[in-house]
């Protein structure tokens, strides 16, 4: 139990935003651009964007920053992702179920205009190629897969950092108080009413600060999902069990993916492979990209991928994720996924594991010498060659293998022997917080946005949710 400091040390603010990812950022922008002059305080566990850099770029290996500079800091994981903005309401979670598809699509346009204002590339990927998209879709149908074609604005890893840097400066210039290198350790909830939160410096919870706020918005992203689930249980914040994604990151030569890279940039494929029929999908495709490592609290290493605007590799990487929904009596999907990840980390001696697809089919591990002889050279240089199947659950691995075989019909060569699979690729989503269309929870003056709400996935829908929240709060003034 966290000891709540007395009122005498409190910071007082009109709006407290916990987390400076896209949802939190756009909440502040939405409020400010309505001409609202109320005070805004943001609390962010990581660093300002101008101080965010991964030491691995210099030393060649992960040094396990605490917290990880790739996943925390101003703009969250968005600053170090490849920065794809999905411009369709059909992609990015289930927010349209809450607010309606028309409002979601209209707000995507307005959020996209803000990104353009701060310097996003005006080019949109995946439009104007109707006949070529139809040909890819026919192959997907033959494979038993659904192709979701979505217009995409690609920011690029290096450009995303510049764009979010400009947004950070606008918020600071407008008087937003951003408290970096601090984390929220407790919510102040009394009589079903939120009165703010308690924060502490990262790594030093002996010095607590109370922040009293008229409105509190939690936007802690996937990284903060487990913490907020604990807050929901502790304080009676209404929520329901959410899904968890287990999977791998696949890497192939660009030549294999040339057609879909050129026509769609990102081929979003969805299937329900035998024998278990769980939903399996592709996610976060990075043409000419690089596989990367992210670190979560407790030493968990997970794989991800990104792509730059200018710097290109000879490979394309993308995630393949199997979605699992747990019901009673088990209700800890995030802990389950973390334990799977730790098993994979154990086999890799703390590193990301990589294995050739052909070796998986042959029932053998991959050896470093075999990787060195392949056409596909790993872009994650310190990945450990090994056996993913010794740690990944049978159900997930079976479905991923069958899905890869199906994708091979859409993209010939995708299921070649030397295709690389990295693990663990995990996506934690908070239990879905029960809210109305104005993002009000059952706790008065408490709101939850973005991936930590369980309603969104990715940059654009988190930005949309934040923009609507800011405008909603401005309308209540």
pLDDT at 224 over 90: no
| Run of H or E including 432 | strand 432-433
Residue 166 in domain:
yes
Token code pair at residue 201: 């410096």
> Nearest Cα to 45, choosing from 80, 21, 79, 9?
21
Residue-wise pLDDT for 70-123, tens only, equals 889 999 876 666 788 999 999 999 999 999 999 999 999 999 999 999 999 999
Q: Are 60 and 198 found together in one domain?
A: yes
Name, in order, each residue with C-beta under 8 angstroms of 114's C-beta and a sequence gap of 6 or more.
26, 29, 463, 467
pLDDT of residue 130: 93
pLDDT of residue 265: 92
pLDDT at 361 over 70: yes
Q: Are 272 and 217 found together in one domain?
A: no
Residue 1 in domain:
no
Could you give the CA distance from residue 306 to residue 78 in angstroms, rounded to a whole number? 10
Residue 373 in domain:
yes
Structural domains of the chain, count: 2
Place of tokens 């989503």: 429
Band of the pLDDT at 55, cuts 50, 70, 90? confident
- Chain CA centroid to CA 392, Å: 21
Q: Are 305 and 338 found together in one domain?
A: yes
Q: Across all residues in the chain, what is the average pLDDT?
A: 93
Coil, helix or strand for 314?
coil
Instruction: Answer yes or no: are the C-beta atoms of 220 and 16 closer than 8 Å.
Output: no
Angle between helices 157-173 and 22-32 (to 10 degrees): 40
Could you give the CA distance from residue 338 to residue 428 in angstroms, rounded to a whole number? 9
CATH assignment of the domain containing 26 = 3.50.50.60
Residue 2 in domain:
no
Could you give the CA distance from residue 13 to residue 84 in angstroms, rounded to a whole number? 33
Q: Are 33 and 75 found together in one domain?
A: yes
Whole-number percent of the chain with pLDDT over 70:
97
Q: Are 298 and 211 found together in one domain?
A: no
Residue-wise pLDDT for 253-270, tens only, equals 999 999 999 999 998 999
Domain ranges, residue 49: 7-120+156-240+432-475
40-69 residues labelled b (16+ CB within 10 A) or e (exposed): bbbbbbbbbbeebbbebeeeeebeebebbb
What is the reported pTM? 0.90
Q: Are 197 and 330 found together in one domain?
A: no
Q: Identify the DSSP state of 383.
A: P
Could you give the CA distance from residue 451 to residue 300 in angstroms, rounded to a whole number? 19
pLDDT of residue 7: 59
Residues in the chain: 477
Instruction: Answer yes or no: are the C-beta atoms of 228 and 220 closer than 8 Å.
Output: yes
Band of the pLDDT at 212, cuts 50, 70, 90? very high
pLDDT at 355 over 70: yes
Q: Are 98 and 228 found together in one domain?
A: yes
Q: Are 457 and 359 found together in one domain?
A: no
Q: Are 19 and 141 found together in one domain?
A: no
Query: What are the phi and psi torsion angles at 299 (to 5°)?
Result: 85, 10
Residue-wise pLDDT for 438-474, tens only, equals 999 999 999 999 988 989 988 999 999 999 999 999 9
Name, in order, each residue with C-beta under 8 angstroms of 274's C-beta and a sequence gap of 6 or more.
402
Residue 125 in domain:
no
pLDDT of residue 71: 83
Q: Are 367 and 436 found together in one domain?
A: no
Band of the pLDDT at 152, cuts 50, 70, 90? very high
Coil, helix or strand for 96?
helix
Token code pair at residue 303: 């794989």
Residue-wise pLDDT for 331-342, tens only, equals 788 889 999 999
Q: Are 87 and 219 found together in one domain?
A: yes
Query: What are the phi and psi torsion angles at 293 (to 5°)?
Result: -115, 140
Residue 55 in domain:
yes
Name, in order, each residue with C-beta under 8 angstroms of 223's C-beta and a sequence gap of 6 or more.
67, 71, 72, 76, 77, 296, 297, 428
Q: Are 28 and 83 found together in one domain?
A: yes
Place of tokens 């800011």: 470
- DSSP lists the bridge partners of residue 213 as 13
Could you give the CA distance from residue 105 to residue 99 in angstroms, rounded to a whole number? 10
């Amino acid at each position: 139990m966290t000891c709540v400091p007395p009122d005498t040390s409190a910071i007082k603010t009109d709006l407290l935003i916990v987390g400076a990812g896209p949802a939190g950022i756009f909440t502040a922008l939405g409020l400010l651009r309505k001409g609202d002059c109320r005070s805004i305080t943001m609390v962010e566990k990581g660093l300002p964007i101008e101080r965010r850099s991964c030491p691995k770029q210099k030393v060649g290996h992960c040094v396990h920053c605490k917290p990880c500079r790739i996943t925390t800091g101003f703009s969250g994981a968005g600053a170090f992702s490849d920065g794809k903005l999905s411009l369709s309401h059909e992609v990015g979670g289930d927010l349209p179920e809450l607010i309606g598809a028309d409002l979601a699509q209209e707000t995507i346009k307005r959020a996209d205009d803000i990104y353009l204002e701060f310097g996003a590339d005006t080019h949109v990927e995946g439009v104007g190629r109707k006949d070529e998209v139809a040909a890819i879709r026919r192959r997907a149908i033959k494979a038993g897969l659904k192709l979701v074609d979505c217009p995409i604005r690609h920011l690029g890893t290096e450009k995303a950092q510049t764009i979010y840097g400009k947004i950070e400066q606008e918020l600071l210039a407008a008087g937003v108080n951003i408290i970096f290198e601090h984390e929220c350790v407790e919510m102040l909830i009394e009589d079903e009413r939120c009165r703010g939160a308690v924060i502490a410096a990262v790594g030093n919870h002996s010095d607590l600060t109370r922040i009293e706020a008229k409105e509190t918005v939690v936007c802690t992203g996937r990284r903060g999902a487990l913490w907020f689930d604990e807050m929901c249980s502790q304080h009676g914040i209404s929520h329901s069990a959410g899904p968890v994604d287990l999977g791998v990151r696949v890497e192939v030569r660009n030549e294999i993916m040339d057609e879909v890279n050129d026509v769609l940039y990102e081929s979003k494929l969805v299937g329900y492979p035998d024998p278990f029929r769980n939903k399996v999908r592709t996610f976060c495709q990075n043409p000419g990209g690089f596989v990367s490592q992210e670190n979560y609290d407790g030493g968990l290493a997970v794989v991800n991928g990104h792509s730059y605007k200018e710097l290109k590799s000879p490979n394309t990487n993308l995630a393949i994720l199997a979605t699992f929904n747990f019901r009673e009596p088990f209700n800890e999907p995030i802990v389950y996924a973390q334990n799977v990840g730790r098993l994979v980390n154990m086999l890799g001696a703390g590193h990301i594991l990589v294995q050739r697809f052909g070796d998986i089919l042959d029932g053998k591990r991959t050896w470093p010498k075999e990787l060195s002889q392949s056409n596909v050279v790993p872009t994650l240089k310190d990945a450990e060659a090994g056996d993913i199947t010794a740690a990944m659950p049978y159900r997930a691995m079976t479905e991923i293998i069958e899905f890869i075989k199906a994708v091979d019909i859409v993209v010939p060569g995708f299921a070649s022997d030397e295709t690389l699979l990295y693990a663990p690729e995990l996506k934690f989503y908070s239990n879905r917080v029960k809210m109305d269309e104005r993002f009000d929870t059952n706790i008065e003056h408490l709101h939850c946005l973005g991936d930590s709400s369980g309603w969104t996935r990715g940059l654009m829908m988190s930005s949309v949710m934040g923009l609507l929240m800011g405008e909603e709060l401005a309308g209540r003034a």
